[in-house]
Amino acid sequence: MVALGPRIAALCFAAAFAAAAFTCEPLEAADPAPVRLHVEHRGALSLPEERGRASDGRPRLTGLSGITWLGGDRYVAAIDNSAGMVRFRLELAADGTPRSCAELELITLAERHDFEDIAPRLGSPPAVFLCEEDTPAIRVFRLADGVAEGTIPLPAVTRFRRANRGLEALALDPDGKYLWTANEEALVPDGEAASMGVGTVVRLMRLPLGAGGPPFQVAYRVDPPHDFVPVFPGPTFSGLVALVALGQGRLLALERSAGPGLPPFESRLYAIDTTNAADVSGIGGDLGRRGEIVIDKTLVWSGALGLNLEGLCLGPRLQRAGLRDEGPQSPGLPGGRRALVGISDNGGLSTPTQVVGFELSAVTSP
């Protein structure tokens, strides 16, 4: 473990995990009226990069590809193509705007992989799930020292991933019974990868933890790459890169498209409800041609931030200064407004590594 700031005691992180377990309640309506989610972008904050000389043991923060909340002001981010993850404190304003970041600490993991996203494992000792796309696998590592504690079984079809387009998203359901994950672009048996004017169909998978129930897979169609002004030759991409589990079978799905032009990136955030979705676990391939089983989705935010936004997680409750607490009785959203915290991946790019803040709220439909 290489410290980039003051060390945070393992006991504090155990408490943080307990806090996360009690504050990640499902976002559900207080009455039977339909709920419409609303997301506002609240700004970004650059994280420290290389400090001092390379020989001082402080590596440059690069390739942060996933993020999760540990409770309070504590977060941990996955680092792709590495044997590390970084935890830190993040202060948010009352509307979810990132204010300051401190106490960054690099944790060396027992294994090196192309880690893409991260989620907390509730309980003791504090640990995290990390999905990686080179094996592929979902692996468990202790938060205190990076020791490996095993893997989560995956459907056999995930082996047929496209290179660098495998398991990219990971989220823990608020009840702690399931992990949600998805491949970035279509598995080879399921159809084509994304190209200009053409989207791609991926498998969104719910994996049981303990006695959580059987595995469940949903067909999800990613939008085609965004329109851009070409600047130089190069490929285009569009895939599902992060999931936020809201409980009761509902999620937010973050899509990221990229192209060799301006704007270089576009991010799209969709709300989906898997409650009545078709289970495609028994379908071995060709999902791209089965439009009737693809889940519906509702756009809640999109933007071209000039960042490779690759990770997203649910954060703490938000309360505007001078306003009454919106609390559990607030219409349409028990627990009030919530922060969404994203992370940008600067790997191979000249853009900074940044944390990105959003405000998530919900209103009952008229």
pLDDT digits (tens, 9 = 90+) for 331-352: 334 447 999 999 998 866 667 7
> Can you read off the two tokens belonging to residue 121?
């494992």
**263: Cβ contacts below 8 Å, ≥ 6 apart:** 226, 228, 304, 306
pLDDT tens, 10-38? 434 444 444 444 344 444 433 344 568 99
Mean pLDDT computed over 273-280:
96
| C-alpha closest to that of 74 among 31, 36, 105, 30 | 105
pLDDT tens, 75-96? 999 999 999 999 999 999 999 9
For the entire predicted model, the pTM comes to 0.87
Q: How many angstroms separate the CA atoms of 202 and 284, rounded?
A: 13
| C-alpha closest to that of 228 among 261, 186, 195 | 261
Does residue 99 surpass a pLDDT of 90?
yes
In this prediction, residue 60 has a pLDDT band, given cuts at 50, 70 and 90, of low
| C-alpha closest to that of 20 among 65, 92, 76 | 76
> Can you read off the two tokens belonging to residue 13?
């992180």
As a whole number, the mean pLDDT across the chain is 85
Domain tally, the chain: 1
| C-alpha closest to that of 217 among 183, 266, 267, 184 | 183
Does residue 255 surpass a pLDDT of 70?
yes
- Return the residue matching tokens 């056999």: 156
**73: Cβ contacts below 8 Å, ≥ 6 apart:** 89, 90, 91, 92
Does residue 240 surpass a pLDDT of 80?
yes
Amino acid letter for position 114: D
Mean pLDDT computed over 233-262:
95
Q: How many angstroms separate the CA atoms of 314 and 70, rounded?
A: 10
CB-CB contact of 135 with 116 (8 Å): no
| CA angle at 358 for the pair 366 and 82, rounded to the nearest 5° | 135
The reported pLDDT for the residue numbered 332 is 34
The reported pLDDT for the residue numbered 214 is 82
CATH of the domain at 195: 2.115.10
Q: How many angstroms separate the CA atoms of 60 and 267, rounded?
A: 25
In this prediction, residue 1 has a pLDDT band, given cuts at 50, 70 and 90, of very low
The reported pLDDT for the residue numbered 176 is 92
Task: Identify which has the larger pLDDT, 55 or 48.
Answer: 48
Q: How many angstroms separate the CA atoms of 153 and 66, rounded?
A: 21
Paired sense of beta strands 237-247 and 309-318, if any: unpaired
In this prediction, residue 147 has a pLDDT band, given cuts at 50, 70 and 90, of very high
The reported pLDDT for the residue numbered 320 is 62
pLDDT tens, 167-222? 999 999 998 999 999 999 999 999 999 999 999 999 999 999 987 678 899 999 99
CB-CB contact of 186 with 160 (8 Å): no
Helices (H), ranges, the chain: 10-23
The reported pLDDT for the residue numbered 36 is 86
Mean pLDDT computed over 276-295:
94
The reported pLDDT for the residue numbered 179 is 97
In this prediction, residue 145 has a pLDDT band, given cuts at 50, 70 and 90, of very high
| C-alpha closest to that of 89 among 195, 188, 13 | 13
Q: Which of 48-62, 232-246, 289-303 has the lowest mean pLDDT?
A: 48-62
What does the buried/exposed string (b/e) look like for 24-34 if buried means 16 or more CB atoms within 10 Å of the residue's CB? bbebebeeeee
DSSP string, 297-319: -EEEEEE--SS-EEEEEEEEEE-
The reported pLDDT for the residue numbered 327 is 35
Instruction: Give the residue numbers spanning the domain of 156.
Output: 2-364
